[in-house]
Amino acid sequence: MAGQIHKMVQQIISQKSKGNAVIANSVRTKMYLKGIAVDKYTASSPDDAAIIQKVREIGKEFGVMV
């Protein structure tokens, strides 16, 4: 499997920002500062269980279930 981290990150950004581009950019920056290098993950990035768990927890903090 590949691309799950990318998919989860994009879901968090889109659900949290609800289409507001400024908030979307803010969420991306906040994720970087939480230790997720957003742009590093693409649709072909391998699924890393530890990172997936971390992204899931970040989603929960933002009130987004992924």
For the CB of residue 56, give the shortest distance to another protein in the complex, in Å: 14
What gap in Å lies between CA 62 and CA 24, rounded to an integer? Answer: 12
For the CB of residue 3, give the shortest distance to another protein in the complex, in Å: 19
Residues of this chain that interact with another protein (CB under 8 A) are: 16, 20, 22-23, 25-26, 28-30, 32-40, 51, 54, 61-62
For the CB of residue 23, give the shortest distance to another protein in the complex, in Å: 5
What gap in Å lies between CA 7 and CA 11, rounded to an integer? Answer: 6
Q: Helix crossing, 21-33 with 4-17: angle to 10°?
A: 130
